[in-house]
Amino acid sequence: MKHVRSIEELGVDGIVRILKVAEHMAEVNRRPVPKVPALVGKTVVSLFFEDSTRTRISFETAARRLSADTMTFSVSTSSVNKGESLRDTVETVSAMGVAAFVVRHKSSGVPWQMANWTDASIVNAGDGWHQHPTQALLDCHSIIGAFGIEPTPSCLRGLTITIVGDVRHSRVARSDIEAFTALGATVRLVGPRTLMPPDATPWGVEITDDFDATLRDSDVVYMLRMQRERMNEALVPHLGEYSTRFGLDAVRAARMKDGAVVMHPGPMNRGVEMMIDPSELPRSLVTNQVASGVSVRMAVLFDVLGGQEVAS
């Protein structure tokens, strides 16, 4: 695959392919020296127009473990602050000989616009409210790991995954919904209508505002981050009411199905959507998600840069 920009472009075959390679990468990561020469001589540039230390470090770790050279272009120190356009930035950095851009931007669609201006591969590390495909892939990786499932085109069939919170403004939710349903899961969205997309019918997923009613048959409860900035937009009355209706607390955690897992893309808003410490949950995948991130991003970079076989 030339680019990894959205789950839709990746398709179910692409998802499965990457999840399989991620298993190999996880094995590499368990070695005493977690490094292979797959991408020697290739340069991967992180182009982060929006701060995200966690995602950037995860990608850069992944690139280095595959022996790629990495460069970081962060806006605060760049000529973008001197008025350089997106196009000029991409063309300039491209001219240095770049194999792949890892890009994050607050505007939906930037990875598609960039593809007009460079021959390099583009990996989307989050565009606006639109997509965050590597997050969805690492979420799938965490789930199949937790449930002991092999990655196949229908590997999540039989699982009910409940995504709770601000779906409207969430690129994580958009990518997850598409990835989970592509792999056969039953996906449910929980939240007030103000935090749902205007028309979610094409996803074919159930939408409800009754969090409690979803708990007993959810295999995965996926908590989204509730941004405090949303309070200015009259989307919910106040954070307290949001927490009461849609926060995960000890009472709700106790009502979850046996063996069900809790996930969160981070960073958590404690006291808002997470009213309980993840360590007190019966099964939390929050730290597994972070670990999966490196393996999955190694698989993604390997996929787009067509490196040599991973040394076994």
Structure tokens that stand for 2 in this block: 């030339």
The residue range among 10-18, 122-130, 158-166, 255-263 that interacts with another protein, by the rule CB under 8 A, is 122-130
Dist CA 207 CA 76 (whole Å): 39
Contact segment (CB under 8 A) with another protein among 93-101, 108-116, 254-262, 281-289 equals 108-116
Residue among 38, 93, 100, 110 that touches another protein (CB under 8 A):
110
Backbone angles phi, psi at 284, to 5 degrees: -115, 135
Number of helices and strands (H, E) in the chain? 10, 9
Site for another protein (CB under 8 A): which residue of 32, 202, 232, 280?
202
If binding is defined by CB under 8 A, does position 200 make contact with another protein? yes
CB of 229 to another protein, least distance (A): 13
- The stretch among 9-17, 59-67, 105-113, 154-162 that binds another protein (CB under 8 A) is 105-113
The rounded distance, in Å, linking the Cα atoms of 169 and 209 is 17
For residue 294 the two structure tokens come to: 């490196």
Say whether residue 229 binds another protein (CB under 8 A). Answer: no
Instruction: State the Cα–Cα distance between residues 17 and 27, nearest whole angstrom.
Output: 16
Return the residue of 61, 70, 113, 152 that touches another protein, per CB under 8 A.
113
Of the candidates 176, 183, 181, the residue with the CA atom closest to the CA atom of residue 151:
183
Assess 87 for contact with another protein (CB under 8 A): yes
Nearest Cα neighbor of 299 from 71, 154, 138, 166 is 138
312 binds another protein (CB under 8 A): no
Q: Which residues bind another protein (CB under 8 A)?
A: 85-87, 105, 107-110, 112-113, 127-131, 171, 174, 197-202
